[in-house]
Structure 1
């Protein structure tokens, strides 16, 4: 699937299927399910568990894929075209952060965000504030095309991420319906740090052992090569049609100072649905994906705790 067509197709579809009376922002659920099937999945209401609390979660739409370099470049191009140069400068990716990893990341500094070969890879090296600004821009774009002022794009709550990842089970360790990192056919289910004998090498300069993370292959839809991150539409989607909820990049949520789901730099145990990691500044391991909801004036989205 070409990301260059995703948002255009979705916008056109929503305009056709939904909101025939733009002055009355009413949730046309069935219409939106059809309209967003290209790039967003409907996650039905359900429950999640955090810290032994069972929490109810309203239905919402989640991007099937992490925001890609191409998607984010569209945002930058739009800011530049509109002459919003101050906002453009604040939105720029901090590619120098690739050098914060233990291996030398010069080639990623130069090419990862800018080269067309990486356009369908997840955008990284952004702050939480930059991701929120992207969501605000996306909200403005969709409201313009749908003529519906109730649409809101934002970072997911952790409960929403878990609802999407857990599927029909409250206790599923990963987004797929079995407790292992390989399928019965031997396919790896996610992009993560595989620490085993075959991944350990001795540094020729320091003489110390290290993990050769950039030498890994991954087995996905087409068994492509992943040098750190993998493309946003890799491996198998979960039952809701969402890709890479475990591994690849940890994902920002509304809760501050954490990212969830693990990433290419995380060992297998740390890419579980419940996994969190500290996130306070831009880095090459963290990306994001938006969810779509509605303003409370048209669709309430208040969660509530049930008894334990």
Structure 2
């Protein structure tokens, strides 16, 4: 396998920010892309990675800027000052020393890639299988509809194993293809992935704002794509016909609605009801370039038993940056993202 030149971040921050690159859109369950978003490795020919018919996840909900929006809500983060940093695939920088964090929560599809790469046969690594009893709906992990939704139903130990595997493969491929350095050379680069500490997670989620939710503009004008009626029927579990859902979406849009951008347990029309966490790249990113840091899936951190950010099942107050959740095992609302450190271990 080889790295994608559009996903391994070497000199351009745009390349690290999947939601802001020239490809136009982030990966979706229908269009998963040709490379793993977390490792940069080619996925050509692998099961689950071919395009399939259906609406793209990013073509469902549109947040719109208005006169009342915070001026920086819809601006891309100013990352150019760190454009010469080496960063791992999928990572956005948090400082100028090679430390960063995933722009998105780890998705079901990226987790399946991990399982495929860590088994000696053509199947999936059973030791890393999410716990069926801890999935939000029975088909959540198996069905391609949810492939770009966050992996949940996993343990802290499994998430840690993913980080360690990701460190090995990204470090090895980078040194083989770019630095051409062995592990004893001064040019050897180590790319380490791990769960962020609680303090690191809070810095990343806050986006330098100092505000409880990272922004004072939580409520934004929203429009729902009427063509997403089938998609939303499936996501919400509604028994209404697609034709009725489309009509209700059009009526909703005419009311000039607004919605809190955080995926929490908010009161919404039936067709926006969430039975699972949602698309990992939904909504405008925060000032550091993170998507879905608050709400959606609560995120495990280095400190075991603690989650941050709240989830789609939680009230809004559980989604503040300082709020803590807890867990004792796999759960249907808990996922994770990785932090990353890049270093030259042989340089003094």
CA distance in 1, matches of 2:347, 2:338: 18
CA distance in 1, matches of 2:111, 2:38: 17
Shift in Å at residue 174 of structure 1? 1.0
Distance 1:246 1:299, change over 3 A: farther
Secondary structure of residue in 2 paired with 1:259: strand
Q: What is the number of equivalent residue pairs in this alignment?
A: 233
Secondary structure of residue in 2 paired with 1:125: coil
Distance 1:10 1:126, change over 3 A: closer
* 2:90 is the counterpart of 1:62: no
**For 1:205-244, what aligned pairs fall within 5 Å after superposition?**
215=270, 217=272, 226-244=274-292
Shift in Å at residue 91 of structure 1? 0.9
Contact 2:39 2:169 in 1 (8 A): no
CA distance in 2, matches of 1:288, 1:256: 12
When the two structures are superposed, what TM-score results if normalisation uses the length of structure 1?
0.67
RMSD across aligned positions (CA): 3.1
- Range that drifts further, 238-247 or 149-158: 149-158
CA distance in 1, matches of 2:263, 2:116: 30
Q: Give the alignment partner of residue 123 of structure 1, picking from 127, 151, 155.
A: 151
CA distance in 2, matches of 1:276, 1:149: 35
Distance 1:142 1:172, change over 3 A: same
Shift in Å at residue 9 of structure 1? 9.2
1:272 — aligned with what? 320
* 2:205 is the counterpart of 1:165: yes
Shift in Å at residue 167 of structure 1? 1.6
CA distance in 1, matches of 2:318, 2:206: 16
2:297 — aligned with what? 249
Shift in Å at residue 298 of structure 1? 6.5
Secondary structure of residue in 2 paired with 1:62: strand
Gaps of 5+ in 1: 13-28, 46-57, 99-104, 200-214, 218-224, 301-308
CA distance in 1, matches of 2:140, 2:278: 12
**For 1:143-158, what aligned pairs fall within 5 Å after superposition?**
143-147=171-175, 148-158=188-198
Secondary structure of residue in 2 paired with 1:292: strand
1:193 — aligned with what? 265
Q: Give the alignment partner of residue 259 of structure 1, picking from 300, 307, 311.
A: 307
Secondary structure of residue in 2 paired with 1:183: strand
Shift in Å at residue 181 of structure 1? 3.3
Contact 1:66 1:122 in 2 (8 A): yes
2:168 — aligned with what? 140
Gaps of 5+ in 2: 1-25, 42-81, 176-187, 223-257
CA deviation map 1:46-100 (0-9, x unaligned): xxxxxxxxxxxx76211110000000000111122x3599x922211102123xx
2:131 — aligned with what? 94
CA deviation map 1:241-270 (0-9, x unaligned): 110010000001001111111001110111
CA distance in 2, matches of 1:173, 1:187: 18
Contact 1:263 1:286 in 2 (8 A): yes
Shift in Å at residue 275 of structure 1? 1.2
CA distance in 1, matches of 2:334, 2:39: 26
CA deviation map 1:184-213 (0-9, x unaligned): 77242111112x5x78xxxxxxxxxxxxxx
Contact 1:125 1:284 in 2 (8 A): yes
Shift in Å at residue 11 of structure 1? 3.6
CA distance in 1, matches of 2:347, 2:206: 24
CA distance in 1, matches of 2:274, 2:301: 25
CA distance in 2, matches of 1:266, 1:299: 46
